[in-house]
Amino acid sequence: MAQNPYRLEAAQALARALAALDPAAPPTARLLRAPRAGLGQRVGVLPGSFDPLTTAHAALARAALRHGGIDSLLFLLSVRTVDKEGRACAALADRALVLQRYIAARPRYGLVVCNRGLYVEEAEALAALLPAGAAVWFVVGYDKIVQVFDPRYYPDREAALTRLFQRAGFLVAPRGPAGPRELAALLARPENQPYRERVRYLPLPPAYRDLSATAVRAALAAGADPRGLVPAAVAAFITATGCYRAGAAADAYAARRQALALPRAS
Protein backbone atom coordinates (compact mmCIF):
# COMPACT_ATOMS: atom_id res chain seq x y z
CA MET A 1 0.00 0.00 0.00
CA ALA A 2 1.30 3.45 -0.93
CA GLN A 3 2.39 5.61 1.99
CA ASN A 4 0.27 8.67 2.75
CA PRO A 5 2.33 11.65 1.48
CA TYR A 6 0.49 13.95 3.92
CA ARG A 7 1.22 12.10 7.13
CA LEU A 8 1.84 14.40 10.09
CA GLU A 9 5.47 13.28 10.50
CA ALA A 10 6.34 14.47 6.99
CA ALA A 11 4.80 17.88 7.69
CA GLN A 12 6.58 18.12 11.05
CA ALA A 13 9.94 17.48 9.40
CA LEU A 14 9.25 20.35 7.00
CA ALA A 15 8.08 22.57 9.85
CA ARG A 16 11.38 22.05 11.67
CA ALA A 17 13.32 22.96 8.53
CA LEU A 18 11.23 26.09 7.92
CA ALA A 19 11.45 27.28 11.53
CA ALA A 20 14.96 28.56 10.83
CA LEU A 21 13.59 31.13 8.35
CA ASP A 22 13.29 34.06 10.73
CA PRO A 23 11.27 36.98 9.30
CA ALA A 24 13.46 39.37 11.31
CA ALA A 25 16.67 38.12 9.68
CA PRO A 26 18.13 39.51 6.43
CA PRO A 27 16.33 38.31 3.27
CA THR A 28 16.93 34.57 3.00
CA ALA A 29 15.50 31.85 0.77
CA ARG A 30 15.71 28.09 0.87
CA LEU A 31 15.31 25.92 -2.21
CA LEU A 32 13.23 22.96 -1.05
CA ARG A 33 13.15 21.31 -4.45
CA ALA A 34 15.02 22.37 -7.57
CA PRO A 35 13.49 21.70 -11.00
CA ARG A 36 14.74 18.36 -12.26
CA ALA A 37 15.27 19.91 -15.70
CA GLY A 38 17.49 22.61 -14.18
CA LEU A 39 16.88 26.25 -13.37
CA GLY A 40 18.26 27.73 -16.58
CA GLN A 41 19.05 31.41 -17.12
CA ARG A 42 15.47 32.73 -17.13
CA VAL A 43 13.72 31.67 -13.93
CA GLY A 44 10.03 32.31 -13.37
CA VAL A 45 8.94 32.79 -9.76
CA LEU A 46 5.28 32.41 -8.79
CA PRO A 47 4.81 33.85 -5.27
CA GLY A 48 1.74 33.20 -3.17
CA SER A 49 0.32 31.85 0.04
CA PHE A 50 -1.19 28.92 -1.92
CA ASP A 51 -3.89 28.51 0.70
CA PRO A 52 -4.84 26.40 -1.17
CA LEU A 53 -3.05 25.91 -4.47
CA THR A 54 -5.89 26.35 -6.99
CA THR A 55 -6.45 25.44 -10.62
CA ALA A 56 -5.90 29.15 -11.36
CA HIS A 57 -2.40 28.98 -9.84
CA ALA A 58 -1.73 25.87 -11.93
CA ALA A 59 -2.97 27.61 -15.10
CA LEU A 60 -0.81 30.66 -14.34
CA ALA A 61 2.28 28.45 -13.97
CA ARG A 62 1.53 26.69 -17.26
CA ALA A 63 0.99 30.03 -19.03
CA ALA A 64 4.30 31.35 -17.75
CA LEU A 65 6.21 28.35 -19.09
CA ARG A 66 4.31 28.42 -22.38
CA HIS A 67 4.29 32.14 -23.12
CA GLY A 68 6.73 33.83 -20.74
CA GLY A 69 10.02 32.80 -22.29
CA ILE A 70 11.27 31.24 -19.04
CA ASP A 71 13.28 28.04 -18.57
CA SER A 72 11.85 26.96 -15.23
CA LEU A 73 9.30 28.02 -12.64
CA LEU A 74 9.67 28.18 -8.86
CA PHE A 75 6.64 28.33 -6.62
CA LEU A 76 7.59 30.72 -3.81
CA LEU A 77 6.09 30.44 -0.35
CA SER A 78 6.85 33.19 2.14
CA VAL A 79 7.02 32.93 5.91
CA ARG A 80 5.55 36.44 5.84
CA THR A 81 2.91 37.20 3.19
CA VAL A 82 2.07 40.87 2.66
CA ASP A 83 -1.53 41.73 3.68
CA LYS A 84 -2.23 38.09 4.73
CA GLU A 85 -0.22 37.62 7.91
CA GLY A 86 -1.89 35.39 10.47
CA ARG A 87 -4.82 34.53 8.18
CA ALA A 88 -3.67 31.25 6.63
CA CYS A 89 -5.93 28.22 7.01
CA ALA A 90 -3.34 25.56 6.23
CA ALA A 91 -0.04 25.54 8.11
CA LEU A 92 3.00 26.69 6.15
CA ALA A 93 4.55 23.23 6.33
CA ASP A 94 1.41 21.65 4.91
CA ARG A 95 1.29 24.13 2.05
CA ALA A 96 4.91 23.31 1.28
CA LEU A 97 4.13 19.60 1.46
CA VAL A 98 1.26 19.98 -1.03
CA LEU A 99 3.43 21.96 -3.43
CA GLN A 100 6.19 19.36 -3.23
CA ARG A 101 3.65 16.70 -4.13
CA TYR A 102 2.24 18.79 -6.97
CA ILE A 103 5.59 19.50 -8.63
CA ALA A 104 7.02 15.99 -8.17
CA ALA A 105 6.00 14.88 -11.68
CA ARG A 106 6.68 18.25 -13.33
CA PRO A 107 10.39 18.53 -14.20
CA ARG A 108 10.43 22.28 -14.91
CA TYR A 109 8.86 23.20 -11.55
CA GLY A 110 10.60 23.82 -8.24
CA LEU A 111 9.78 25.11 -4.76
CA VAL A 112 11.46 27.84 -2.72
CA VAL A 113 10.56 29.32 0.69
CA CYS A 114 11.56 32.84 1.72
CA ASN A 115 11.51 34.73 5.02
CA ARG A 116 10.20 37.97 3.46
CA GLY A 117 7.03 39.08 1.68
CA LEU A 118 8.08 42.09 -0.42
CA TYR A 119 9.16 41.31 -3.97
CA VAL A 120 12.33 43.38 -3.69
CA GLU A 121 13.43 41.39 -0.64
CA GLU A 122 12.45 38.08 -2.26
CA ALA A 123 14.47 38.98 -5.36
CA GLU A 124 17.51 39.71 -3.18
CA ALA A 125 17.10 36.43 -1.32
CA LEU A 126 16.73 34.44 -4.55
CA ALA A 127 19.95 35.83 -6.03
CA ALA A 128 22.05 33.56 -3.80
CA LEU A 129 20.27 30.42 -5.07
CA LEU A 130 20.27 30.97 -8.83
CA PRO A 131 22.95 30.41 -11.46
CA ALA A 132 25.29 33.34 -12.13
CA GLY A 133 23.65 35.85 -14.43
CA ALA A 134 20.19 34.25 -14.19
CA ALA A 135 17.22 36.58 -14.71
CA VAL A 136 14.25 36.45 -12.33
CA TRP A 137 10.72 36.98 -13.65
CA PHE A 138 7.98 37.15 -11.05
CA VAL A 139 4.70 35.69 -12.33
CA VAL A 140 1.75 37.65 -10.94
CA GLY A 141 -1.82 38.75 -11.57
CA TYR A 142 -2.71 42.33 -12.44
CA ASP A 143 -3.73 43.10 -8.84
CA LYS A 144 -0.19 42.30 -7.69
CA ILE A 145 1.58 44.60 -10.13
CA VAL A 146 -0.69 47.37 -8.85
CA GLN A 147 0.58 46.49 -5.38
CA VAL A 148 4.19 46.61 -6.60
CA PHE A 149 3.74 50.22 -7.71
CA ASP A 150 1.78 51.26 -4.59
CA PRO A 151 3.92 53.73 -2.59
CA ARG A 152 2.44 52.70 0.77
CA TYR A 153 4.64 49.60 0.83
CA TYR A 154 7.92 51.55 0.67
CA PRO A 155 9.64 54.18 2.82
CA ASP A 156 11.39 55.28 -0.39
CA ARG A 157 9.44 54.05 -3.43
CA GLU A 158 11.91 55.10 -6.11
CA ALA A 159 14.90 53.55 -4.36
CA ALA A 160 13.03 50.31 -3.65
CA LEU A 161 11.67 49.97 -7.19
CA THR A 162 15.09 50.68 -8.66
CA ARG A 163 16.51 47.88 -6.50
CA LEU A 164 13.64 45.57 -7.47
CA PHE A 165 13.74 46.10 -11.22
CA GLN A 166 17.51 45.79 -11.29
CA ARG A 167 17.01 42.28 -9.97
CA ALA A 168 13.73 41.11 -11.50
CA GLY A 169 11.02 41.62 -14.09
CA PHE A 170 7.30 40.79 -14.01
CA LEU A 171 5.06 38.64 -16.19
CA VAL A 172 1.56 39.98 -15.53
CA ALA A 173 -1.61 37.96 -16.18
CA PRO A 174 -5.12 39.45 -16.39
CA ARG A 175 -7.21 39.50 -13.24
CA GLY A 176 -10.98 39.94 -13.33
CA PRO A 177 -11.77 42.64 -15.92
CA ALA A 178 -8.21 44.03 -15.92
CA GLY A 179 -6.26 42.93 -18.97
CA PRO A 180 -3.65 44.27 -21.41
CA ARG A 181 -5.22 47.72 -21.79
CA GLU A 182 -5.30 48.29 -18.04
CA LEU A 183 -1.70 47.13 -17.74
CA ALA A 184 -0.62 49.46 -20.53
CA ALA A 185 -2.40 52.36 -18.82
CA LEU A 186 -0.71 51.56 -15.51
CA LEU A 187 2.72 51.49 -17.13
CA ALA A 188 2.03 54.73 -18.99
CA ARG A 189 1.80 56.71 -15.75
CA PRO A 190 4.85 58.98 -15.46
CA GLU A 191 5.97 57.50 -12.14
CA ASN A 192 5.89 53.96 -13.61
CA GLN A 193 7.42 54.57 -17.03
CA PRO A 194 11.04 54.01 -15.93
CA TYR A 195 10.17 50.37 -15.16
CA ARG A 196 7.85 49.42 -18.02
CA GLU A 197 10.49 47.54 -20.04
CA ARG A 198 10.67 45.05 -17.17
CA VAL A 199 6.93 44.34 -17.14
CA ARG A 200 5.33 42.05 -19.76
CA TYR A 201 1.78 40.91 -20.34
CA LEU A 202 1.06 37.19 -19.88
CA PRO A 203 -2.10 35.76 -21.47
CA LEU A 204 -4.35 33.59 -19.28
CA PRO A 205 -7.59 31.80 -20.24
CA PRO A 206 -10.70 33.77 -19.09
CA ALA A 207 -11.96 30.85 -16.96
CA TYR A 208 -9.20 31.46 -14.41
CA ARG A 209 -9.30 35.25 -14.11
CA ASP A 210 -11.84 35.34 -11.26
CA LEU A 211 -10.92 32.15 -9.41
CA SER A 212 -9.42 33.23 -6.08
CA ALA A 213 -8.14 31.16 -3.17
CA THR A 214 -10.61 33.01 -0.94
CA ALA A 215 -13.55 31.84 -3.05
CA VAL A 216 -12.15 28.32 -3.20
CA ARG A 217 -11.80 28.17 0.60
CA ALA A 218 -15.42 29.30 1.02
CA ALA A 219 -16.63 26.69 -1.47
CA LEU A 220 -14.67 23.91 0.19
CA ALA A 221 -15.93 24.90 3.65
CA ALA A 222 -19.46 24.64 2.27
CA GLY A 223 -18.76 21.09 1.14
CA ALA A 224 -18.05 21.67 -2.56
CA ASP A 225 -16.40 18.98 -4.66
CA PRO A 226 -12.74 20.06 -4.96
CA ARG A 227 -12.50 18.85 -8.57
CA GLY A 228 -12.20 21.85 -10.86
CA LEU A 229 -11.21 24.10 -7.96
CA VAL A 230 -7.89 22.59 -6.93
CA PRO A 231 -5.36 20.17 -8.47
CA ALA A 232 -5.56 16.50 -7.55
CA ALA A 233 -2.68 16.82 -5.07
CA VAL A 234 -4.67 19.37 -3.08
CA ALA A 235 -7.87 17.31 -3.20
CA ALA A 236 -5.91 14.37 -1.75
CA PHE A 237 -4.56 16.61 1.02
CA ILE A 238 -8.09 17.76 1.91
CA THR A 239 -9.29 14.16 2.08
CA ALA A 240 -6.32 13.13 4.22
CA THR A 241 -6.41 16.01 6.72
CA GLY A 242 -9.83 17.70 6.65
CA CYS A 243 -8.24 21.08 5.95
CA TYR A 244 -10.61 23.68 4.43
CA ARG A 245 -13.65 21.69 5.49
CA ALA A 246 -16.14 22.58 8.24
CA GLY A 247 -17.38 20.78 11.38
CA ALA A 248 -15.50 17.75 12.72
CA ALA A 249 -13.00 17.89 9.85
CA ALA A 250 -12.07 21.45 10.81
CA ASP A 251 -11.56 20.35 14.42
CA ALA A 252 -9.29 17.53 13.28
CA TYR A 253 -7.21 19.90 11.18
CA ALA A 254 -6.95 22.40 14.05
CA ALA A 255 -5.21 19.69 16.10
CA ARG A 256 -2.82 18.99 13.24
CA ARG A 257 -2.08 22.69 12.80
CA GLN A 258 -1.27 22.95 16.51
CA ALA A 259 1.12 20.02 16.19
CA LEU A 260 2.94 21.93 13.43
CA ALA A 261 3.27 25.15 15.40
CA LEU A 262 6.94 24.94 16.34
CA PRO A 263 8.86 27.87 17.83
CA ARG A 264 11.29 29.58 15.49
CA ALA A 265 15.00 29.13 15.95
CA SER A 266 16.60 32.03 17.80
In 3-state terms, the chain is what percent helix, strand and coil (to 5)?
45, 15, 40
Query: What is residue 261's predicted lDDT score, i.e. its pLDDT?
Result: 86
Query: What is residue 245's predicted lDDT score, i.e. its pLDDT?
Result: 96
Dist CA 116 CA 78 (whole Å): 6
Lay out the sheet containing 109-114: strands in order across: 29-33, 109-114, 72-78, 42-47, 135-141, 168-173, 199-201
Homologous superfamily of 8-209 in CATH? HUPs (3.40.50.620)
Residues 57-66: pLDDT tens digits? 999 999 999 9
Nearest to 54 by CA among 223, 234, 218: 234
Which residues neighbour 78 within 8 Å (Cβ) at sequence distance 6 or greater?
Answer: 47, 49, 113, 114, 115, 116, 117, 122
Is pTM, for the whole model, over 0.85?
Answer: yes
7 phi, psi to nearest 5 deg: -60, 150
* pLDDT < 70 stretches in the chain: 1-2, 81-87, 262-266
Query: What is residue 74's predicted lDDT score, i.e. its pLDDT?
Result: 98
Q: What is the DSSP secondary-structure string of 104-130? A: TT-TTEEEEEES--SHHHHHHHHHTTS
Residues 121-138: pLDDT tens digits? 999 999 999 999 999 999
Query: What is residue 120's predicted lDDT score, i.e. its pLDDT?
Result: 87
Query: What is residue 206's predicted lDDT score, i.e. its pLDDT?
Result: 94
Cβ-contact 186, 179 below 8 angstroms? no
Residues 80-108: pLDDT tens digits? 765 554 567 999 999 999 999 999 999 99
DSSP 72: E
| Per-domain residue ranges of the chain | 8-209
Dist CA 73 CA 29 (whole Å): 15
Give the residues across from 109 on adjacent strands.
73
Query: What is residue 115's predicted lDDT score, i.e. its pLDDT?
Result: 95
